[in-house]
Structure 1
Amino acid sequence: MKKEPSPNLRIKRQSLPETLAESLRERILNGEFKEGESLIQEAIATEYGVSRMPVREAFKELEASGLISTQIHKGSVVKSIPLEQIEELFELRALLESELLERSLAKMTEEHFAVTKQLLPQLEAAYMNDDIAQWGKLNWAFHHSLYAAAERVQTLAIVQGINVQTDRYIRLQLLLTAGKKEAEVDHRELLRLCEQGDVKKAVQFLRKHIQRAGSDLIRLLKKKRTKETMA
């Protein structure tokens, strides 16, 4: 006789608001919804064939992740992050991820590195195939695999949140510059230094990798936003 699973052990299926939030998040990140664009609950509900309730819940999730904001008389709007705040986010990334890597490398095993080695070709394939939707997910998965052994749950959660906020801008940079090739080279070098156990060089290289990506992105966004203002 088949035993019924315990209610506490049942796997929860993704809820409708979560599914909506994931779909809307991807549309924001890939630029379909532009900065400053209003998201109308009724229109979104009609588009997806659902009631307004799950849309409202999805909006709350997107607002919590910093992708949209609620404005008086405008409702929910795709959030535009000021350049100085984007710069700050990359400074935080450099600071926190460097600390995570330093703590993690002392504990990393062959099993940890096996995960990283499995993810890197997937990330490079996404770059080569212009699979934009996978860039942010796989980039975070690659970096996370190098930090997981640190066992710093709260810090990892903060860093992941920062990556979500900056993902759409990083995609833009990769699309409009030679950033994909640079990222490939950097990721392979970072993995090499980590495998060698050279903690100091690995941490320094990671910090420079993040800082350079941030600087390149700020320059690109300044030009883009200046053109949009003048148009």
Structure 2
Amino acid sequence: MAPVGKGLKHKTMASAAAEEIRNRILSGVYSPGLQLRQDGLAADLGMSRIPIREALVQLESEGLLKILPHRGAVVAQLTADEIEELFNMRLLLEPFLFKRSAPRLTDDDFTALHAVLDRYAKSIDELEMDVWNELNTEFHLLLYRHADSPRIILTVQNLLVECDRHTRIQLSNIRGDRERAVAEHAELLRLCEQGEFERGAQLMYWHIDHIREGLVTLLRSNPSVKSA
């Protein structure tokens, strides 16, 4: 049995590798279809192949990579149909989580949500693409934090990661949708504070569906579009 400290260090290295590779995928440094070689990643990140291999398995579970026979890890490139599936799963799960959690939000939760919303609006205004998707995920998960549905929340968290770079495509290419995203987040928060939870859940559905529709339309009309 390996010493506990050594095991923790190894796990930390695998997590660090996964975070760095994930960031490179989401930022477009590693483009869809690119083959990622373990030897090259290990040399680049200054670690052995073992934590790299575990990181790649983790990223496959998040949908960012596909590990293929004879090719290894390849950055995933979703079709319009696959994007439909991702967002339809969100449409099923997120309004449900919202309705369970929103009535239980506290004053501290609202303070945190307003702070995230302010930073989100600023990142949209300044076109900080790496930041706005992180804050979008943080905002949504804060809304759902009291749903008492840990398995569903974990599923939604993974879906938000998978949708990240594809949402980036939609917001990067359609200016009006950036403004709409900020306005809808602000309205979701207002409805929570006013206790209008059914209207909030309905808006959550429309909010996600609008992104789905815009992204699918964009990709089907111009399949060459990629994340910035």
Q: What TM-score does the superposition give when structure 2 sets the normalisation length?
A: 0.89
1:55 maps onto 2:52 in alignment:
yes
Q: Indicate conservation of the 8 Å contact 1:30/1:171, yes or no.
A: no
1:43 partner SS: helix
Please name the residue that 1:3 is paired with: none
| Range moving further from structure 2, 30-39 or 12-21 | 12-21
Aligned-pair Cα RMSD in Å: 2.0
Please name the residue that 1:107 is paired with: 104
Please name the residue that 2:120 is paired with: 123
Distance across 2 between alignment mates of 1:227 and 1:23: 24
Specify whether residues 120 and 21 from structure 1 end up closer, same or farther in structure 2 by C-alpha distance, changes over 3 A only: same
Mark the runs of 5 or more structure 2 residues left unpaired by the alignment.
none
Give CA deviations for 1:158-179 in whole Å, capped at 9, x if unaligned.
1111111111101111111112
Distance across 2 between alignment mates of 1:105 and 1:136: 22
Amino acid at match of 2:205: R
Task: Give the one of 124, 136, 140 matched to 1:139.
Answer: 136
Amino acid at match of 2:206: K
Amino acid at match of 1:204: Q
Please name the residue that 2:188 is paired with: 190
Q: Indicate conservation of the 8 Å contact 2:116/2:138, yes or no.
A: yes
1:225 partner SS: coil
Task: Give the one of 166, 170, 189 matched to 1:169.
Answer: 166
Structure 1: 4+ residue segments shifted above 6 A: 11-14
1:91 maps onto 2:88 in alignment:
yes
Query: Equivalent pairs: percent with the same residue?
Result: 34
Q: Measure how far apart 1:120 and its partner are.
A: 0.7
Amino acid at match of 2:209: Q
Distance across 1 between alignment mates of 2:117 and 2:49: 40
Task: Give the one of 32, 41, 64 matched to 2:29.
Answer: 32
Q: Indicate conservation of the 8 Å contact 2:188/2:204, yes or no.
A: yes
Please name the residue that 2:61 is paired with: 64
| Range moving further from structure 2, 46-55 or 200-209 | 46-55
Q: Indicate conservation of the 8 Å contact 2:169/2:225, yes or no.
A: no
Give CA deviations for 1:93-145 in whole Å, capped at 9, x if unaligned.
12211011111122222222122112111111221222222222210111111
Distance across 2 between alignment mates of 1:127 and 1:14: 34
Count of matched residue pairs:
219
Amino acid at match of 1:114: T
1:70 partner SS: strand
1:149 partner SS: coil
Q: Measure how far apart 1:13 and its partner are.
A: 10
Q: Indicate conservation of the 8 Å contact 1:112/1:149, yes or no.
A: no
Task: Give the one of 199, 204, 228 matched to 1:206.
Answer: 204
Amino acid at match of 1:185: A
1:148 partner SS: coil
Q: Indicate conservation of the 8 Å contact 1:40/1:76, yes or no.
A: yes
Q: What TM-score does the superposition give when structure 1 sets the normalisation length?
A: 0.88
Distance across 1 between alignment mates of 2:73 and 2:10: 27
Amino acid at match of 1:100: L
Distance across 2 between alignment mates of 1:19 and 1:105: 33
Distance across 1 between alignment mates of 2:26 and 2:112: 26
Distance across 1 between alignment mates of 2:34 and 2:120: 30
| Range moving further from structure 2, 204-213 or 11-20 | 11-20
Amino acid at match of 2:81: E
Larger Rg: 1
